[in-house]
Amino acid sequence: MFGYIVANMDKLTDEEKQHYRSCYCGLCKALGNRHGTISRITLTYDMAFLVLFLSALYETDNKTGTERCIIHPLKPHQYWQNDITNYAADMNIVLAYYNFLDDWEDDKNILSLCESKLFVREFTRIFEQYQKKCTVISDCLKELSEIEKSGELNADIPANSFGKLMGEIFVMREDEYAENLRAFGRALGKFIYILDACLDLKDDLKHERYNPLIMTSSEDFAAILNLLMADCIENYNRLPINRDKNLIDNILYSGVWTKYEAHKQKQRRQKNK
Amino acid sequence: MTDPYKVLGVSPSASMEEITKAYRRLAKKYHPDVNPGDEEAAKKMSEINAAYEQIKSGNAYQTSSSGGYSGQTSYGPGNNSSEQYDPFGGFNPFGFDPFGGFGSFGNTQQRQEAAEFEPVKRYLSAGYYAEALNALSYINNRSAQWYYYSAIANLGLGNKVTALSHAKTAVQMEPNNLQYQLLLNKIQNGGRVYQQYSQNYGMPVVNLSNLCWGLCLARLCCGLCC
């Protein structure tokens, strides 16, 4: 359920593109430094967005640097980092760990079990550091799994549960922004959950699996997703974000639709065949 | 109303799991996405949906017994608390704007139906959306009106997905009802401003192969650099 919150690169200036990429690279580097090279496979764009978003809100001082990359040995890569990068790297591990566990429990996928074992030590360490937050996340996931098992038909119920989880992740510290950040995260999480359901509907129907939108036709998806993003924007506008505004707007107004558009295009192509 | 168990092809003694299985099997066959443009399938799907919803909400037996929704079931346990929740004291059924329009009753059945929604209306006017939903869950006959009130209650709770879907159902069931259309418009308007902005921005033009490559490369780069 990850990797939906990306930018629409076509509409960014070169500078913005660079800033966005460096944010991603900074997170990747933080993951490697904090949790071992292998943890880089868990890197998601969603957490890069978290870094970008919170850094813009808190107007952090970023530590920038340049490093060479094996793929482009001649072209050094830029990155930037701050405290938020470290926080996002930790949250990235928490989410990845639960995701592996979930895949193991749902599909009995041995690979996922092994992957979860890889991260159990890192996870335990992070859990101790953010006990309260991790408990909320784990409770939300438990709740979500029960809701899905019960075959809940009201799509808002599981979506709210996933939203709660995202809301928690967006609150790095309990300060004057916490309430608005939580609301923003909730709305974004709700969108992610429903978007995921939209994209999975066909497969879920085929395999007779749970899908919260089973009673909905895909004709209605765009309207539903627009409503949810409108909520998200409402909360976004309550936060005093001035830095990287165009980049964040790009992600929230356009980039979040990337996978949806790709899916639509794929379906159209299949139909034409 | 038809027997929901018959619609799903299961015995009334079947477990919820078996019923869900039967429902998903039927959905796989009749879902509008699997049968684009097929009206017969769409109709069948709504029947299946209604039957499954009915069984899941625990109202299957009451409804199949010859339309006997007495006022009693509809009030349910919510009734006792309704008085103390109502901050306005007496509720004037004609003074309340968005839910009005039911003033003139043609026959007893309509009157009974309207009476059934009284507690729901009361909760809604006081802003007790969760209680309104609860009261709605005791009403077996899912009429257009039921979907209309359910949409309002869900909207109040921030359950936008359900609100939109139920408002749409209400309009589909009674296309000429202006009130239902207004509500649907109101809900949809919430997304329109965003949509316009979003379209001005330009939707991501996705070149599938490029996207995949881009992601892989970015990942590899970062994975291997530093």
A181-204 pLDDT, tens digit each: 999 999 999 999 999 999 999 999
Q: Do A206 and B28 touch (CB under 8 A)?
A: yes
- What is the spatial distance between Cα A120 and Cα A117, in angstroms, rounded to a whole number? 5
What is the per-residue pLDDT for A250? 95
Per-residue pLDDT of chain A (273 residues; tens, 9 = 90+): 788 999 999 999 999 999 999 999 999 989 988 998 888 888 999 999 999 999 999 999 999 998 875 545 677 889 999 999 999 999 999 999 998 888 888 778 888 888 888 889 999 999 999 999 999 999 999 999 999 999 999 999 999 999 999 999 999 999 999 999 999 999 999 999 999 999 999 999 999 999 999 999 898 999 999 999 999 999 999 999 999 999 999 999 999 999 999 998 888 888 777
The number of C-beta contacts closer than 8 angstroms across A and B is: 169
- Cβ–Cβ contact A120 with B under 8 A: no
Diameter over CA atoms, chain A: 55
Q: Do A205 and B31 touch (CB under 8 A)?
A: yes
Mean pLDDT of B36-53: 89
- Cβ–Cβ contact A63 with B under 8 A: no
A239 touches A182 (CB < 8 A):
no
Number of domains composing chain A? 1
Number of domains composing chain B? 1
**Would B43 be classed as within a structural domain?**
yes
Q: How far is B76 from chain A (nearest CA, A)?
A: 21
Domain span at residue B62 reads 1-67
The minimal CB distance from B33 to the residues A77, A194, A202 is found for: A202
Residue of A nearest to B150 (CA): A154
Among residues A203, A207, A209, which one has the least CA distance to residue A148?
A: A209
The angle at the Cα of B186, spanning B182 to B190, to the nearest 5 degrees, equals 165
Residue with tokens 């309704």: B82
Q: Residues 65-104, chain B: which have Cβ within 8 Å of A?
A: none
Mean pLDDT of B74-101: 39
pTM of the model: 0.84
Q: How far is A257 from chain B (nearest CA, A)?
A: 7
Lowest mean pLDDT among A235-239, B164-168, B215-219: B215-219
**Would B199 be classed as within a structural domain?**
no
- Cβ–Cβ contact B196 with A under 8 A: no
Q: How far is B15 from chain A (nearest CA, A)?
A: 12
Among residues A259, A234, A246, which one has the least CA distance to residue A52?
A: A246
A46-81 pLDDT, tens digit each: 999 999 999 999 999 999 998 875 545 677 889 999
- Cβ–Cβ contact A263 with B under 8 A: no
**Would B177 be classed as within a structural domain?**
no
Query: Which three-class secondary structure string do you get for chain A?
Result: CCCCCCCCHHHCCHHHHHHHHHHHHHHHHHHHHHHCHHHHHHCCHHHHHHHHHHHHHHCCCCEEEEECCCCCCCCCEEEEECHHHHHHHHHHHHHHHHHHHHHHHHHCCHHHHHHHHHHHHHHHHHHHHCHHHHHHHHHHHHHHHHHHHCCCCCCHHHHHHHHHHHHHHHCCCCCCCHHHHHHHHHHHHHHHHHHHHHHHHHHHHHCCCCCCCCCCCHHHHHHHHHHHHHHHHHHHCCCCCCCCHHHHHHHHHCHHHHHHHHHHHHHHHHHHC
How big is chain B, counted in residues? 226
Q: What percent of chain B has pLDDT over 90?
A: 42
- Cβ–Cβ contact A46 with B under 8 A: no
Enumerate the residues of chain A whose CB falls inside 8 A of the CB of residue B195.
226, 230
Strands A63-67 and A77-81: antiparallel
Sign of CA dihedral A129, A132, A138, A141: negative
> Can you state the angle between helices B160-173 and B178-201, rounded to 10 degrees?
130
Mean pLDDT of B62-72: 36
Enumerate the residues of chain A whose CB falls inside 8 A of the CB of residue B155.
none
What is the per-residue pLDDT for B219? 53
Region of A151 please: left (phi>0), alpha (psi -120 to 50) or beta.
Answer: left
Q: Do A231 and B202 touch (CB under 8 A)?
A: no
The minimal CB distance from A205 to the residues B28, B159, B198 is found for: B28
- Cβ–Cβ contact B178 with A under 8 A: no
A42 touches A93 (CB < 8 A):
yes
- Cβ–Cβ contact A38 with B under 8 A: no
- Cβ–Cβ contact B58 with A under 8 A: no
**Would B28 be classed as within a structural domain?**
yes
CATH of the domain at B52: 1.10.287.110
**Would A202 be classed as within a structural domain?**
yes
**Would B157 be classed as within a structural domain?**
no
Q: Do A224 and B195 touch (CB under 8 A)?
A: no
Among residues B45, B9, B52, which one has the least CA distance to residue B28?
A: B45
What is the per-residue pLDDT for B50? 87
Q: Report residue B30 as tokens.
A: 């009749």
What is the per-residue pLDDT for B86? 37
B39 touches B48 (CB < 8 A):
no
**Would A153 be classed as within a structural domain?**
yes
Give the model's confidence band at B151: pLDDT under 50 very low, under 70 low, under 90 confident, else very high: very high
The angle at the Cα of A79, spanning A73 to A82, to the nearest 5 degrees, equals 150
**Would A86 be classed as within a structural domain?**
no
Domain span at residue A234 reads 130-239
Residue A222 is which amino acid?
A
What is the interface pTM, i.e. ipTM, of the complex?
Answer: 0.84
- What is the spatial distance between Cα A152 and Cα A160, in angstroms, rounded to a whole number? 12
